[in-house]
């Protein structure tokens, strides 16, 4: 995948008419578009015109589009086991440590964060790819995320699942919102999923 292709998607995403809709909370319950998406027992649900994404959900599409889903693909010359493995791996300056984390998926990938608690990346906003610093708050990092999801979409399971969601709003209702404590906010995640689907459709229509 060349830099021009990545740049085209970045421009597409930036110009994509995406409006993040709010998740409302009342009495320990969470609602999206007036539909209950999380009850007081942390049980999740979804609606007819949106898809609530999560690895622990029963819906197969919701699971596959989760960053935790086991999905081997090549990213910047490295075979990785999941998107989550990359998102956790970039927290480590040490390349050997990072390469270990890239091999994880599912909740195991998520919980590798435990080995980083003593050196929390959010203190200085520095993330890393193979020893090179990427500032969490720079445009370079947004382009890194664009590249990551484009490479994930080269996996036909991920790509076909994404396209099969039709026009549903792709939601991750429990995503964090503060970029100082997460490497992927709810906005960054939802914007990419919704815009990437539209981008892939446009490319297919041009063939």
Which pLDDT does position 196 carry in this prediction? Answer: 98
Question: What residues does 73 pair with on adjacent strands?
Answer: 80
Q: Does residue 1 have a pLDDT over 80?
A: no
Per DSSP, the residues of 100-128 read: HHTT--HHHHHHGGGGGGGG-GGGTTEEE
Q: Does residue 94 have a pLDDT over 90?
A: yes
Which pLDDT does position 46 carry in this prediction? Answer: 78
Distance CA 141, CA 144 (A): 5
Q: How confident is the model at residue 206 (pLDDT cuts 50, 70, 90)?
A: confident
pLDDT above 70 covers a percentage of the chain that reads: 100
* Contact between residue 185 and residue 178 where contact means Cβ atoms under 8 Å apart: yes
Which pLDDT does position 207 carry in this prediction? Answer: 73
Read off φ and ψ for residue 72, nearest 5 degrees.
-75, 130
Per DSSP, the residues of 33-101 read: TTEEEE-TT--B---SSEEE--TTSS-HHHHHTSTTS---EEETTEEES-HHHHHHHTT-SSHHHHHHH
- Write the pLDDT tens digit of every residue in 139-163: 999 999 999 999 999 999 999 999 9
If you average pLDDT over every residue of the chain, what do you get?
Answer: 95
- Write the pLDDT tens digit of every residue in 26-47: 999 999 999 999 998 888 877 8
- Write the pLDDT tens digit of every residue in 159-199: 999 999 999 999 999 999 999 999 999 999 999 999 999 99
Instruction: Report in angstroms the alpha-carbon separations of 49 from 33, 42, 92, 103, 158.
Output: 9, 21, 38, 35, 20
Which pLDDT does position 118 carry in this prediction? Answer: 83
Which residue range is the domain that position 102 belongs to? 3-14+22-205
- Write the pLDDT tens digit of every residue in 99-119: 999 999 999 999 999 998 888
CA-only gyration radius of the chain, Å: 17
Which pLDDT does position 19 carry in this prediction? Answer: 96
Q: How many domains does the chain have?
A: 1
Which pLDDT does position 47 carry in this prediction? Answer: 85
Task: Report the candidate in 184, 190, 186, 187 with the shortest Cα–Cα distance to residue 175.
Answer: 186
* Contact between residue 197 and residue 104 where contact means Cβ atoms under 8 Å apart: no
CATH, residue 137: 1.10.357.40
């Amino acid at each position: 995948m060349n830099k021009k292709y990545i740049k085209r998607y970045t421009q597409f995403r930036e110009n994509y008419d995406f409006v993040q809709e709010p998740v409302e909370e009342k009495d320990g319950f969470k609602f999206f578009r007036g539909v209950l998406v999380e009850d007081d027992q942390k049980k999740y649900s979804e609606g007819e015109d949106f898809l609530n994404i999560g690895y622990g959900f029963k819906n197969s599409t919701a699971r596959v589009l989760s960053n935790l889903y086991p999905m081997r693909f090549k990213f910047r010359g490295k075979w990785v086991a999941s998107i989550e493995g990359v998102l956790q791996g970039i927290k480590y300056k040490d390349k050997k440590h990072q390469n270990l984390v890239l091999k994880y998926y599912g909740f195991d990938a998520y919980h590798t964060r435990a080995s980083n608690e003593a050196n929390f990346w959010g203190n200085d906003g520095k993330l890393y790819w193979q020893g090179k610093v990427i500032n969490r708050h720079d445009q370079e990092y947004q382009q890194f995320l664009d590249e990551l999801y484009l490479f994930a979409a080269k996996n036909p399971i991920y790509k076909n699942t994404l396209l099969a969601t039709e026009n549903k709003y792709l939601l991750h209702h429990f995503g964090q919102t503060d970029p100082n404590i997460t490497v992927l906010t709810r906005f960054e995640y939802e914007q990419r999923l919704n815009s990437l689907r539209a981008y892939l459709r446009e490319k297919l229509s041009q063939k």
